[in-house]
Homo-oligomer: A and B are copies of this chain.
Amino acid sequence: MLRAAIVGASGYTGGELARLLCTHPTVTITAATSRQYDGQPLSAVFPHLRDRVDVTCRNLETAAIIDQADLIFCAVPHKTAMDVVPSFLEAGKKVVDLSADFRIKDAAVYEQWYQPHSAAYLLEEAVYGLPEIYREQIRTARLVANPGCYPTSITLGLAPLLKAGLIDPSTIIIDSKSGTSGAGRAAQVGTLFCEVTDGFRPYKVGGTHRHIPEIEQNLSDLAGSPVTVSFTPHLLPISRGILSTIYAGLRQRTELDEIMALYEKMYDREHFVRVLEPGKLPTTQQVRGSNYCDISLNLDKRTGRLIIISALDNIVKGASGQAIQNMNLMCGLDEDAGLHQAPLFP
């Protein structure tokens, strides 16, 4: 059995790692860290996992984590992650980091959007953990930077088009909507039930959300030239799910068939990307609780724009599920081990 540690186990992504790992055939959770819940069973922090996980939250030192695990999931916030990841690597452990700390290749860009980086020397080595694009590098990585939830939905949605050069990158506008679990489990007035339910709102409007440099890095890499996008996130009164509506102008008249063929070619053998037939549209419910990303392509002949819609569960394919997919690749396991859950509907 592979021994896995969850550093930062009491947040929603920590709990989701535990939920998914408890059905993984060859991995055991051997350590779970939490300052706040030190001494409490993880199943007290997440009562749905009662009888399913048998680990107690501890406020562990780095050395203790290293002793107890072969692979470490870092599910702590950015800045905290960069403080602990180097030690794990030095001790020869594999690390999947769910924070933003190792996603941006250019330290200057990272520091512009976040804060100073104390482990920038690892940025080159870190592999961006989007298996559908960087699978081979992930297999041999020591450190995988697990992608952000919005960037995953957007990058998978645009990859075939950008690679083929069919759209004008300067026209890309991304209107994304996320479930509230993306805001985390910390007590805040803004995410109280009464503030969110039966409502809808945008936030970080006008090019200010921190996922923008990550999105642009991914799209630029695919396009082969710098891409700048408009990105507006919104908060949905649902727990799980991101749906991104992406607008892009075609460089020239192109039939939908031709575009569909690009997507089918790229994603046909993927376990976790489902390209919907023309006329079918994704919903967040269709992917809830699963590692799927569903994508739909729509051509607006009146305006010459393509509307790409992608949906995923922000704490599965957008976080913990993708982290397990990365772990599987890094450890030579079946890529879909522990990720067989069908979506939950209704």
Interface of A with B (CB < 8 Å)? Answer: 12, 15, 19, 22-23, 46-52, 173, 175, 177, 180-181, 185-189, 191-203, 205-207, 228-230, 232, 234, 236-241, 243, 245, 247, 274, 276, 280-290, 292, 294, 296, 298-303, 305, 307, 309, 340-346
Contacts and interface: CB of A to CB of B under 8 A. Distances in A.
A214 to B, nearest CB: 15
A193 B180 contact: yes
Nearest to A190: B187
A346 B175 contact: no
B236 A200 contact: yes
Contacts of A284: 198-201
A174 to B, nearest CB: 10
Given A238-B197, A342-B19, A205 B48 contact: no
A201 B338 CA distance: 28
Contacts of A185: 189, 192, 194
Nearest to A281: B202
Contacts of A47: 280, 283, 286
Q: Which of A15, A192, A228, A276 has the most CB of B within 10 A?
A: A192
A256 to B, nearest CB: 9
A301 B22 CA distance: 39
Given A15-B345, A281-B203, A198 B288 contact: yes
Contacts of A205: 281, 296, 298, 307, 309
28 contacts: A12-B194, A19-B342, A47-B283, A48-B342, A48-B343, A52-B342, A185-B189, A185-B192, A187-B187, A187-B189, A193-B196, A194-B239, A197-B346, A198-B198, A199-B284, A200-B241, A201-B281, A201-B285, A202-B281, A202-B282, A203-B281, A205-B281, A206-B298, A206-B300, A230-B303, A232-B307, A237-B237, A247-B247
Contact of A285 (B189, B198, B236): B198
A191 to B, nearest CB: 5
Nearest to A345: B48
A21 B48 CA distance: 22
Contact of A307 (B230, B300, B343): B230
Main secondary structure on A side of the interface with B: loop
A229 B229 CA distance: 19
Contact of A201 (B203, B234, B283, B289): B283
A194 B206 contact: no
A148 B202 CA distance: 23
A23 B180 contact: no
Contacts of A301: 206-207
Contacts of A243: 200-202, 234
B238 A200 contact: yes
Contact of A197 (B51, B197, B201, B341): B197
A296 B234 CA distance: 14
A19 B241 CA distance: 19
Given A50-B274, A187-B187, A191-B193, A228 B302 contact: yes
A226 to B, nearest CB: 12
A281 B276 CA distance: 34
